[in-house]
Amino acid sequence: MDQSDIREFHILFERMLRCMTDSEHFDREKFVQALEELAALFRLSKGVTEFYRTERAEKDGEGEIMIDYDLGKKDHPVLSYRILSKSKSVIISTLYMADDEKPLEEEELEKLDLILNVLVNFIARNRFEASLERLGYYDDNGYPNIRYYMRYLESLIAEEGTLSGYTAACINLRHFSAVNQEYGRKAGNLALRNYYDELADAAGNDGVVCRMGGDNLVLAFRKILTEKVMRILSGIPVICDPEGNKRVLVYASAGVFNIPKDAPAGAGDIVSRIYTAMLTAKQNPETPVVYYDEKMLSERDKEAEVNLLFPKAIENNEFKVFYQPKVDIESGRIVGAEALCRWFRGGNIVPPGDFIPVLERTSEICRLDFHMLELVCRDLRRWLDEGRQTVRVSVNLSRKHLSDADLKDHILEIIDRNKVPHQSIEIELTETGTEVGFQSLKRVAEELQENGFCVSVDDFGMGYSSLNLIREIPWNVLKIDRCFLPTDDEPESSITSRMYGHVISMAHDLGLECVTEGVETSKQVEILRKNNCRFAQGYFYDKPLSVEEFEDRLNRGNYSISK
């Protein structure tokens, strides 16, 4: 190398180093240009970098080969480097020279050795960072993950100072497990990929869609794209086979947050808001899209409070039984009562609607139901011991019990320990929407009946009523939900009025006892009478009563029929 070559080497080498160390503004073009000029200076004909994720991949020849510099006349290698990185990936760099070129001098080889050494280490570091990025910000299937989402939002906040131009959403694909079950996992994965691509397309270049795990996705997009995104959320057909012949309908339950100007700034705040709204959407199939509002967070806090206070509340006997009479409308006689739970908390009575759905989500409801059964048994035992007249008391059992294989033993243990006759207890069960649930319901109802308990189907007519439910399960009592009971101003010809009559005659035909719930007016009592429904429960007779009030009610005898 003459003096000018050495000078040129220094200039180029420095230029290359400068490109490499300025990590914030890495200029690839300048970097490649410096490398090419260096290659020309050393009379190289080709430079190849090979990258293997593992040593095994290297052995099997499965890697990425990058030709960094190629003059098209490779002949013999003059220098080669192989390094094993910390993450166990392998990088090999080889330089070639054409046979007709002047061989490299000792001094040139030394300099080239230095360049290659620096270069390979630089590539190793870049690759390592890319692996870290892949591990940290993408899931196993290559979808950007929740950390990617959080980082994306944080960088938007840093750049724009606010997210108020954006809408964020968290979605859960509805019935997606059914797609997997019906068409297979592969088809499910393909459908998810295609759905994801549609969403990513709608969210545009300055939006993002990430996978939160399973069939949950989070997205952020400019507000003007809302309509486009919503169209996809409300359901689109997507291809689910490689040939493109089969399509499934994919739709979502979504929690959406139109980020306002004064929204709390952190990405964490946004995620917790859209997640909360999504959970609400998921619980309620009628509202597949739920827009976040601040009330939801306080609802969530209330829910957390219920879960936190529940164990102590049960120990402190804060849950009490209220009894609502069931009445024979012909004689005014009290023929039974339903045990309904009330929570006495800090001087207030909390109605079941505020805590039962919460406890159902964690299955703590089972503990509460057994506690209620215990309290009812103690009352019945006491009434029997005091020589009072008793009535059959029905206790509600949540669907959550259905998967409990020892449910019958648990119930028997409580009732027998209190020495309560089995015919004094009725168990109210509600319908379920799944086949598995149906089979469990059948098993539970049969087991309870075999042990002499009366079993009723609660809220019949709401939710998942099916004729199969009354054909396959030997119920004793059908409790007709108040949504089936015509209101005072309902004409006799209305669908509700006619169905009500038919449901009752069908139940009677099948030998079932009928109770209509939610009877509030004398006109409704008339409707029951006309339709031969003999038993009623409702505010017309009494609201649920405390134990003292109920005992008093029993003492007073029948209701007046002309009431």
Binding site for ligand C2E (CB under 6 A): 324, 340-341, 351-353, 356, 365, 369, 372, 396, 398, 428, 458-459, 517-520, 537-539, 544
CB of 320 to ligand C2E, least distance (A): 10
CB of 478 to ligand C2E, least distance (A): 13
Tokens 């190793």 found at: 124
Partner whose footprint covers residue 451, from ligand C2E, Mg ion, none (CB < 5 to 8 Å by kind): none
Q: Considering only residues 459, 469, 519, 534, which one is a binding residue for Mg ion as defined by CB under 5 A?
A: 459
Stretch that binds Mg ion, among 80-88, 248-256, 399-407, 428-436 (CB under 5 A): 428-436
Q: Give the CA angle between residues 378, 553, 522 to the nearest 5°.
A: 130
426 counts as binding Mg ion under rule CB under 5 A: no
215/517 with CB nearer ligand C2E: 517
Partner whose footprint covers residue 356, from Mg ion, ligand C2E, none (CB < 5 to 8 Å by kind): ligand C2E
542 counts as binding Mg ion under rule CB under 5 A: no
Q: Distances in Å between the alpha carbon of 503 and those of 329, 481, 538? A: 18, 11, 19
CA 550 from centroid of its chain's CA atoms: 42
What CA–CA distance (Å, rounded) separates 319 from 344?
Answer: 6
Partner whose footprint covers residue 215, from Mg ion, ligand C2E, none (CB < 5 to 8 Å by kind): none
Residues in 512-531 at the binding interface with Mg ion, rule: CB under 5 A = 517
372/420 with CB nearer ligand C2E: 372
CB of 514 to Mg ion, least distance (A): 13
The string of DSSP codes covering 20-69 is: HH--TT--HHHHHHHHHHHHHHTT-SEEEEEEESSHHHHHTT-SEEEEEE
Other beta carbons less than 10 A from residue 104's beta carbon: 19
Partner whose footprint covers residue 365, from ligand C2E, Mg ion, none (CB < 5 to 8 Å by kind): ligand C2E
178/483 with CB nearer Mg ion: 483
**Kind plus residue range of the DSSP H or E element containing 198:** helix 185-203
Positive or negative, the CA dihedral 391, 392, 396, 400 is positive
8 A C-beta contact, residue 209 and residue 186: no
Interaxial angle between packed helices 267-283 and 146-160, expressed in degrees from 0 to 180 and rounded to the nearest 10: 130
Partner whose footprint covers residue 340, from ligand C2E, Mg ion, none (CB < 5 to 8 Å by kind): ligand C2E
CB of 552 to ligand C2E, least distance (A): 18
DSSP class of residue 341 equals E
What CA–CA distance (Å, rounded) separates 287 from 277?
Answer: 11
CB of 280 to ligand C2E, least distance (A): 19
CB of 518 to Mg ion, least distance (A): 8
Partner whose footprint covers residue 531, from Mg ion, ligand C2E, none (CB < 5 to 8 Å by kind): none
428 counts as binding Mg ion under rule CB under 5 A: yes
Positive or negative, the CA dihedral 401, 407, 413, 415 is positive
Partner whose footprint covers residue 353, from ligand C2E, Mg ion, none (CB < 5 to 8 Å by kind): ligand C2E
CB of 158 to Mg ion, least distance (A): 54
> Hey, what are 273's tokens?
């808001």
8 A C-beta contact, residue 478 and residue 500: no
CB of 438 to Mg ion, least distance (A): 19
Stretch that binds Mg ion, among 212-220, 353-361, 424-432, 446-454 (CB under 5 A): 424-432
Q: Output phi, psi for 259, to 5 deg.
A: -70, 120
Q: Which residues contact 405 (CB under 8 A, 6 or more apart)?
A: none
8 A C-beta contact, residue 139 and residue 213: yes
CB of 196 to ligand C2E, least distance (A): 39
Phi and psi based region of residue 317 (left: phi greater than 0; alpha: psi -120 to 50; beta: remaining): left
Stretch that binds Mg ion, among 52-60, 123-131, 322-330, 452-460 (CB under 5 A): 452-460
Partner whose footprint covers residue 217, from ligand C2E, Mg ion, none (CB < 5 to 8 Å by kind): none
16/341 with CB nearer ligand C2E: 341
207/544 with CB nearer Mg ion: 544
What CA–CA distance (Å, rounded) separates 210 from 235?
Answer: 19
> Hey, what are 346's tokens?
């800090």
Residues in 374-413 at the binding interface with Mg ion, rule: CB under 5 A = 396
CB of 174 to ligand C2E, least distance (A): 25
215/428 with CB nearer ligand C2E: 428
Q: Which residues bind Mg ion (CB under 5 A)?
A: 396, 428, 458-459, 517
